[in-house]
A and B are shown apart, each in its own frame.
Chain A
Amino acid sequence: ETAVFQTPNYHVTQVGNEVSFNCKQTLGHDTMYWYKQDSKKLLKIMFSYNNKQLIVNETVPRRFSPQSSDKAHLNLRIKSVEPEDSAVYLCASSYHRRTGQLYFGEGSKLTVL
């Protein structure tokens, strides 16, 4: 049963465009995350957000930014996409700030032409 919802699930765009992915969780969790999964299935943490505290993986390019209106929502904005941004972006949530059991959304596949 999905309790972390992502939209859109697929997006194709041109280099230089702006893209946003939305994520909402209905689990009442305190912490939300964005992960990037490459074509080899490797997962890389991008951001963690808990109670207005943002933790950023320092390897994430600055064109990526998270946006949150409340603890149930964490969106991902990419200001000017590059070809290497093509990947699946996965949103997740957990009850505790220091990880704990993670629940993932369906994923948002981005293709940059």
Chain B
Amino acid sequence: GQQVQQSPASLVLQEGENAELQCNFSTSLNSMQWFYQRPGGSLVSLFYNPSGTKHSGRLTSTTVIKERRSSLHISSSQTTDSGTYLCALDSGSWQLIFGSGTQLTVMP
């Protein structure tokens, strides 16, 4: 089965609402990396989070190893937050294992 399951697949918000994106994993974890990808753009690293909670502006990442989950919280969403969010599990092997992505659309 899939080693990283990301949800939801898509999410539509009104500007100002909060978003919670989730990745559940079934294999061992060194760290979870969260990326943002603008349409047609590159992947920008948001967090590299092995455990606990990290903050960056309106973004918060929380990784709970014993519950096998990592989340990305976006507060007070803006239209410029629209895009694809990807989680990627670093298990210590030679490759990251990517989730299938969350397509976020923030309406004005």
Is A43 an interface residue, CB under 8 A from the partner? yes
| CB atoms of A98 and B43 under 8 A apart | no
List the interface of chain B (C-beta within 8 A of A).
30-31, 33, 35, 37, 40-45, 48, 84, 86, 88, 90, 92-96, 98, 100-101, 103
| 9 A-B pairs closest in CB distance | A45-B95, A104-B43, A101-B48, A43-B98, A106-B42, A41-B101, A99-B90, A48-B94, A55-B94
| CB atoms of A41 and B96 under 8 A apart | no
Of B33, B40, B94, the residue contacting A98 (CB under 8 A) is B94
Enumerate chain A residues within 8 angstroms of B30, measured Cβ to Cβ: 98-99
Provide the bound-state CA to CA distance between A107 and B44, in Å. 12
Chain A interface residue count, CB cutoff 8 Å, equals 24
Chain B residue at minimum C-beta to C-beta distance from A31: B94
A33, A43, A55, A103 interface centre (most CB from chain B within 10 Å):
A43
Provide the bound-state CA to CA distance between A99 and B98, in Å. 13
Q: How far is the CB of A52 from chain B (nearest CB, A)?
A: 15
Q: Can you spell out 8 A-B residue pairs with CB atoms less than 8 angstroms apart?
A: A43-B98, A57-B95, A90-B43, A99-B94, A100-B90, A103-B45, A104-B44, A109-B40
